[in-house]
Amino acid sequence: MKPPSAQLEPFALRAHHYGRITGISMLVHAIPDAFLLLHTGVGCKYKAAAQLSVHDWARQPHRREGWTEVGDAALIRGAAERIGPYVRSWYDRQKPELMIVCSASHLELSGEDIAGAVRAANATVPCPVRYVHGLGFAGDLYDGFGAALSTVLDTIPWGEVAPEKDHVAVVGYPFDRYEADHSANLHQLRILLAELGKELVAVLPSGQPLARLAAAARAESLLVLPYAHALAGPLATSLAASAASGGRRVVEVGLPVGLRFTSIWLDQVARGLGVDPRRAAKAARRLSGYADRELNLLRTRLQGRRSAVFADTPLAAGLVDLLTQLDLPPALVGLRDRSLGGAPALREALARADVALRPDTVVLEDPSVRTAGAHLRDGVQQGRFQAVLGSASELGALLRGGVRGLNTGPSPEHRLAAIVHGFPSSGYHALQSQPTYGYGGALTVAQRILDGLFSGQE
Amino acid sequence: MTMPRKPPRGAARLGAPDDPFWERQEARLSGRLGQPCCTLSGMCTLLGRMGGDFAVIIHGERDCGNSFVHHTADSAHQFFCTCLTEDQVTAGRVDAPLERCLRLVLEELAPEAILVLGTCPITMIGVDPGPVVERVAASTETPIVLLRTGGLKLSTQSDMVDWLYASLAGLPQRAPDPEAWRLQVASRLKETVAELLSEGTLAPDEVRADVERALEVPPASRCVNLIGLPALGVRASELEPALRSAGIHVRGLYPFEADLRGWRSITHAAVNVVADRRLYPRLLKLLETQHAMPTVEVPLPIGLGQSVRFYRAIGDFFDATDVLDRALASIREAAQAQVDAFRARTASTRVAMGIRMLNNYQVDQLAYEGLGDVEALSELGFHLTLLVQGPPEQRARFEEMLSDLGVDLPFYVFPNPWNLAPLLAEGDYQVALLADHSWEEAQKAGVPMIRSRALAPLLAGVEPNLNLLTELLRAAQGEPGRDR
């Protein structure tokens, strides 16, 4: 199968074909006492919890989702009037602490005042009810996630709680399931901040109920991850405007993924929070030195091999760093987002970390299933890479292409490590601590590559 | 901005003033037990699982391509979307992107067929893609089918599957599907090998004769299409050898094994054997009237009684009842003995069965309104209670629907799957058959659970089903701390 032409490619289903509604649903799923009311068509339900349900084995996302059951007749009569009864009915049933009402394009096109209907409904239940549009013409999962997160930030009592020294909150963590990969990442963030003498008091979102997220108000500094960079400016402005918010710092940071990017993260955080950068450098030397020694066990056995990685842009940068350090440099990089900067942002981030893509590395931006699958299959069959990191979408496109001998090659040289990571991961689930973040995350990813390439060769 | 005054927490039922709204609302409840569905979502889901050289074009905004779970879809790479912009939709300029997409797909991929699916935004602006599709179709021999799908007109899953399958069967028919023939040959050769290995009594001439028979293409007059049988377990059962002993051959298992070519050769059989003909009015009308193919209705062949009736119906059509009876005698008698022994051990077991809990478009789930397993459980002497997901205030309506289906079982109506745990615990059930997403609720209630439609089909399925139920009943008895 060939990849489609440049003319057909924009029409082809994307490998990561998720829009705002999926991102909004992901954010609501990450807050166990929030509730998502879909004011959408019945098929839009498939854009929400259904996409997450195979990804999260620990908690069913459907349980915190409702639908206003809009059909053609309701639309003709005026569908926005349905929002109030459904909000009250679901409040009565589940007593959520936050309700987010999300619309879809065709209902927005009707010209009804959906935002007004949500405001009216908000006055009739004890919890906050917020509106987030789900227009599906443009934007991606990360747009929806960020927009819904901004409504959560609005509920934090910034003006009611005094910030405490050395307390830090992280904003924009992509929590998408209640499994041990995420709890491990949160632990990595905590220990990295502890190296700088900071205490992590809240991560938004992190699988914690709204009341626990309110602890962010105790933070004197807010570290904003790339998935929420668009919110950093408005957040800083809003906090600055409120005298009662006590001059909290808002610092945009990258992702602590891969050895160099984790060290860069420590430096960014130190500088942003007014910690002596030498302290960060010292911690980075010690921790990365330890990790590097362990990685060396694998590195010496990988010479000549290469990899392919599919991830959103910030995560891809970290993984490219790690794979390069492992002497498994990427021959193919697929960027799954449409809102986090794409190839220019990737190259810029890599340049900051002094990591270079090999000249022959192919970078695909928001590739279609067809293009991702064709590049992956060709690469595997022609021996251009021996490890593939990607979500179930990209690995599915590869595996369904019928690559013979996958993981059953006669010798390690013929093996392919197919490492599922990120959303969606239908077949990979974490029963125990398996971070991607931090120095510990670098070791975990390396361990998975080692298992994929060498396990079973005894 | 002044914050609105909000009611206090712990207030009485806040939705009470909405009762008139709900009374109007529930009038839309359809006359069927299935959940409502979006025809776009449903068709994308089913086409995504289907094999064959076809293309699907979703005519709508980009996110309409996200209205099905695509990362598990085998044919996801054959899906395209016109990815209309807001400007194009609001200005009604939606024909050009569709035409361009259609022509590019034809030019680059030259698929055997193209399906164009509609979406809510297209319905909303009232544009008819028909003329564009006709214009492009006129310039090619590739069949292009426009299905005006969408989520605005709430459809039942049953209507959607029938519409899709009738559309696929309505494509120009071709010579029989080589894949179906290959499966048939493989099945026969496997039987010969199994016999060689187990008995070791086959002479070389007999092996040669078996292989030659396997390679014969049976005439259409002795072929049967099986429509609506469960996805798994049919090929591994006694079905094909038993039918073959009566000179009857399975042409295809629809829809689960049918790829595009399978649908385009569905007419090369003598009869369509269908589990629940009510599910397929359009498909069967097409096959009966345009292709003069008769229909034989059968129960979903789960459990002993339904499997026996299934074979009897096929035997009656081919005038082969006695031959089939003889071929099945030993396995049927063994199954009967197993059912009798199980029934003696487990009489009066309380079993809950959830219905109306799924929107997965599986025809074996939809057959007989989701009640296909009821007889298989009843014949074991279980005390069966139905748990119907739906608005509790519509209990009378559900009662009427069940009565129309001849079902006289106790039932409860519950509004959503997250209310199940207390209902299961109160009912003191020993086993529950529920939708797969209910495991957490079943676990909370301490009730061992079987996924809906996990029971194996046909006579070969009887023993494994009883083993599964035995294990679950053991678990129910031995579960520590179960609140009973």
Residues in B 427-446 with any Cβ partner in A closer than 8 A? 437, 440
**Per residue in B170-195, is it b (16+ CB within 10 Å) or e — as a string?**
bbeeeebbebbbebbeebbeeebeee
- Residue B46's Cα: distance from chain center in Å? 10
Tokens of B359: 């929107």
Tokens of A227: 């998935």
The predicted structure's pLDDT at residue B316: 97
Residues in B 56-95 with any Cβ partner in A closer than 8 A? 57, 61-72, 74, 76-77, 79-86, 89-90
The predicted structure's pLDDT at residue B467: 95
Tokens of B229: 């049988």
CB-CB under 8 Å, B81 with A13: yes
Alpha carbon of A141 to those of A51, A59, A176, B97: distances in Å?
Answer: 11, 20, 12, 24
User: CA triplet A110, A115, A120: central angle to 5 degrees?
Assistant: 120
Tell me, what DSSP letter sits at residue B5? P
* Nearest Cα residue in chain B from A128: B6
Report ipTM for this prediction: 0.94
Q: Which residues of A touch B81 (CB under 8 A)?
A: 11, 13
CB-CB under 8 Å, A5 with B41: no
* Nearest Cα residue in chain B from A138: B62
Q: Which residues of A touch B115 (CB under 8 A)?
A: none
* Nearest Cα residue in chain B from A48: B67
CB-CB under 8 Å, B41 with A71: no
Mean local confidence (pLDDT), A112-127: 96
Q: Is the peptide bond before B255 cis (omega within 30 degrees of 0)?
A: yes
Question: What's chain A's Rg over C-alpha atoms?
Answer: 23
Q: Which residues of A touch B153 (CB under 8 A)?
A: 71-72
Distance from CA of B85 to the nearest CA of A (A): 5
Q: How many Cβ atoms from other residues are within 10 Å of residue A28's Cβ?
A: 30
* Nearest Cα residue in chain A from B61: A137
How far, in Å, CA of A194 to CA of A455, rounded?
35
pLDDT digits over A43-97, tens only?
Answer: 898 899 888 988 999 998 888 999 998 888 888 888 999 999 999 999 998 999 9
Q: Is the pLDDT of residue A406 over 70?
A: no
Q: Which residues of B touch A12 (CB under 8 A)?
A: 77, 79-80
Residues in B 371-410 with any Cβ partner in A closer than 8 A? none
The predicted structure's pLDDT at residue A458: 63
Q: Using CB atoms within 10 Å of the CB of residue A331, give its burial: 0 to 12 exposed, 13 to 18 middle, 19+ buried.
A: buried
The predicted structure's pLDDT at residue A408: 43
- Residue B169's Cα: distance from chain center in Å? 17
* Nearest Cα residue in chain A from B48: A13
Distance from CA of B101 to the nearest CA of A (A): 7
* Nearest Cα residue in chain B from A141: B63
Give the list of residues 6+ apart from residue B392 with CB closer than 8 angstroms, or none. B413, B414, B415
CB-CB under 8 Å, A60 with B153: no
Nearest to B69 among A7, A51, A82 (CB): A51
Q: Which residues of A touch B6 (CB under 8 A)?
A: 122-126
Contact call for residues A248 and A219 (beta carbons, < 8 A): yes
The answer to whether B110 faces chain A, any CB pair under 8 Å, is no
How far, in Å, CA of B79 to CA of A14, rounded?
9
Nearest to A13 among B4, B36, B70 (CB): B70
Contact call for residues B444 and B467 (beta carbons, < 8 A): no
Q: Which residues of B touch A72 (CB under 8 A)?
A: 123, 152-154
Contact call for residues A225 and A340 (beta carbons, < 8 A): no
Residue B328's nearest CA partner among B310, B353, B348, B346 is B310
The predicted structure's pLDDT at residue A255: 98
Mark the ranges of chain B whose per-residue pLDDT is less than 70: 1-4, 25-35, 177-180, 199-200, 479-484
* Residues composing chain A: 458
Contact call for residues A284 and A196 (beta carbons, < 8 A): no
User: CA triplet A267, A268, A273: central angle to 5 degrees?
Assistant: 100
Tokens of B333: 């008698």
Nearest to A62 among B21, B108, B437 (CB): B437
Mean local confidence (pLDDT), A251-279: 97
CB-CB under 8 Å, B79 with A13: yes
Mean local confidence (pLDDT), A444-448: 96
* Nearest Cα residue in chain B from A424: B71
CB-CB under 8 Å, A369 with B9: no
Residue B468's nearest CA partner among B272, B242, B233 is B233
How far, in Å, CA of B357 to CA of B377, rounded?
19
Tokens of B428: 């003191």
Nearest to A85 among B15, B68, B101 (CB): B15
Q: Which residues of B touch A45 (CB under 8 A)?
A: 38, 41, 359
Q: Is the peptide bond before B121 cis (omega within 30 degrees of 0)?
A: no
Distance from CA of A182 to the nearest CA of B (A): 21
pLDDT digits over A284-293, tens only?
Answer: 999 999 999 9
CB-CB under 8 Å, B153 with A105: no
Nearest to A42 among B36, B57, B417 (CB): B36
Q: Which residues of B touch A13 (CB under 8 A)?
A: 65, 70, 76-77, 79-81
Q: Which residues of B touch A88 (CB under 8 A)?
A: 14-15, 18
How far, in Å, CA of A87 to CA of A125, rounded?
8
CB-CB under 8 Å, B11 with A41: no
* Nearest Cα residue in chain B from A121: B6
Nearest to B68 among A1, A46, A136 (CB): A46
Provide the β-strand partners of residue B115. Answer: B56, B145
Nearest to B153 among A40, A46, A71 (CB): A71
The predicted structure's pLDDT at residue B200: 66
CB-CB under 8 Å, B38 with A396: no
Nearest to B86 among A69, A88, A137 (CB): A137
Q: Which residues of B touch A392 (CB under 8 A)?
A: 71-72
Tokens of A447: 């361990």
Q: Three-state SS for B389?
A: strand
Contact call for residues A350 and A324 (beta carbons, < 8 A): no
CB-CB under 8 Å, A373 with B77: yes
How far, in Å, CA of A199 to CA of A150, rounded?
23
Distance from CA of A449 to the nearest CA of B (A): 22
Q: How many Cβ atoms from other residues are within 10 Å of residue B479's Cβ?
A: 13
CB-CB under 8 Å, A91 with B14: yes
The predicted structure's pLDDT at residue A411: 55
| Contact pairs from chain A to chain B, CB under 8 Å | 208
Q: Which residues of B touch A51 (CB under 8 A)?
A: 66, 69
**CA within 13 Å, CB half, B234:** 23
